Amino acid sequence: MKTIRLLGAAALALSLFSTLAFASGVTPWPSRPLTILVPFSAGGTVDIVARSIGQKLGAELGQNVIIENRTGAGGTIATAMLAHAHADGYTLMMTHMGLAFNDALYQKPGYDTRRDILPVAYLGATPNVLVTSNSLPARTVDDFIRLAKAKPGALSYGSGGIGSAGHLPMAVLESTTGAQMVHVPYRGAAPAMTDLMSGQIQAMLQTIPAVMPFIQSGKVRAIATSGKTRSPALPNVPTLQEAGIKGFNYAPWYGLFAPAQTPEPVVARLHAAVNKVLADPEIAAKLGQQGLEVQPRSRAEFAEMVSQDITRWGGLIRTMRLQAE
């Protein structure tokens, strides 16, 4: 009987210790695999970045990292899943600056970005590249703009949808130059790229990782990148600023996010682990070849960047009266 009482007391003590340890953040984390939601299809830029980083991140944390593509509604389906997931650090999301667009594009996305989504780690940014169909007689930005202005509405450009990361900067380019083109929204960038290669549309402003294979194979023509400086991935392609579009700078960021209220020790460890992975020369070189310029930032800097972009792009979207379909 005494042995039974002792065993019972030991079990109770262990239970109390486990409860207190969890409450104090002592419980080892992670103790099971992590899932990183990707709001876009496999093979897209976010997916490429997530898979490039995920395996190394798993090794750093001592657990498997599962990449789960949850596509649809411009990324809001995956973001809503993240917003309503347990805030325990086991469900995360990797996405790009389109996250900041969706607050204004969708009336009821099922979450509030500032309230429900926590920026964890900034990965870097990649300028987009303006590519044209080989059938278009324009080899420079000047040629392209001149053609568009000479025949308003004759040229069309594609994107992954209304208000997408490929649509908004093209709308800014039109406004800046006075060119008038027809926007053709697709359900994703892949079908738009197919039509660009066939000449059904004439241009796209696309992320470098997603379009690089088509540039290298000669299936589309790269005429300018959208960042402040030339991309190391395309050193011979001028920027839009160099080509005469003064002040044009568009380089979408990429980052890792968690549900709001995720414990601070977990977020801090994730941030440190991601930065350690990004410091790996092999990873930095791999991402650099894809056009992603790795630039570690503090969590506070990243959170402020996201908040500013929600305000900036939200204002533009409302001014243009855009609404997702």
What DSSP line would sit under 82-149, residue for residue? Answer: HHTS-SSSSEEEEEETHHHHHHHH-S--SS-HHHHEEEEEEEEE--EEEEEETTSS--SHHHHHHHHH
- The yes-or-no verdict on residue 18 having pLDDT over 50 is no
Let me know if the fold of 34-125+252-320 is the same as that of 128-225. yes
Percent of all residues in the chain with a pLDDT value above 90, rounded to a whole number:
71
Percent of all residues in the chain with a pLDDT value above 70, rounded to a whole number:
91
Q: How many residues does the chain have?
A: 325
pLDDT at residue 278 in the model: 96
Lowest-pLDDT range, 9-23, 34-48, 49-63, 309-323? 9-23
Of 101, 214, 229, the residue nearest 160 (C-alpha): 101
pLDDT at residue 162 in the model: 85
Domain residue spans of the chain: 34-125+252-320, 128-225
Beta strands (DSSP E) in 214-273 are 220-225, 253-259
Count Cβ atoms within 10 A of the Cβ of residue 41 and give its class: 0-12 exposed, 13-18 middle, 19 or more buried.
middle
CATH among 1.10.443.10, 3.40.190.150, 3.40.47.10, 3.40.50.10490 for 34-125+252-320: 3.40.190.150
* Each residue's pLDDT tens digit, 107-127: 899 999 999 999 999 999 989
pLDDT, average across residues 66-77: 92
* Each residue's pLDDT tens digit, 170-199: 999 998 999 999 999 987 788 899 999 999
pLDDT at residue 145 in the model: 97
User: Which phi and psi angles does 6 have, rounded to 5°?
Assistant: -65, -45
Q: What does CATH list as the number for 128-225?
A: 3.40.190.10
Rounded CA-CA distance 317/314 in Å is: 5
* Each residue's pLDDT tens digit, 208-238: 888 999 999 999 999 999 999 999 889 999 9
pLDDT at residue 26 in the model: 59
pLDDT at residue 92 in the model: 98
pLDDT at residue 43 in the model: 80
